[in-house]
Amino acid sequence: MPFFIIFLIIPLIEIGLFITVGEEIGLVSTLLLCVLTAVIGAALIRHQGLETLFSARRAMDRGEMPVREMFDGLCLAVAGALLMTPGFFTDAIGFSLTIPAVRSFVLAALPRFFDVQVMGGAASSSSQSRTYRRSPDVIEAEYEVLDEDREDHDKP
């Protein structure tokens, strides 16, 4: 179903928006507006991407895992791809992902749609213990392969 939306519904929305905007402001103005949003979006993504990179570096220097910064970086990468894609609908989604409050909302909403599991955090040198939240469907075990024939084949 997601591929259906991505490859059929979104282009149809974009075509409808291009026709509507083109009728209102003209073909050349519509095309220039698409180029302008791509240029503005690229500059905005570059600026916010560098801020996110520096923020992640500061978090790592404090011994923290930069989870929030990594999520912001992912959102900015998606926003950049959407802003480079010609269209007004994708630009609206891309520009919305550059707003920190929208990214916070998306991050808070993710656990409702996905089974999010935390598999540990950054371990500092003073504390090597990690807290894991395990799913009841996961069984952890150790095993050893015992194969007598294998030992015979390994000998020269």
Q: In the chain, what's the furthest Cα-to-Cα distance?
A: 83
Model confidence, pTM: 0.67
pLDDT in tens, the chain (156 residues): 778 778 888 889 999 999 999 999 999 999 999 999 999 998 999 999 899 999 999 999 998 888 889 999 999 999 999 998 889 999 999 999 999 999 999 988 888 877 656 555 444 433 334 444 556 677 778 878 787 665 555 555
Backbone angles phi, psi at 127, to 5 degrees: -140, 115
- Residue bearing tokens 């011994």: 63
Contact (CB, 8 A) for 87 and 18? yes
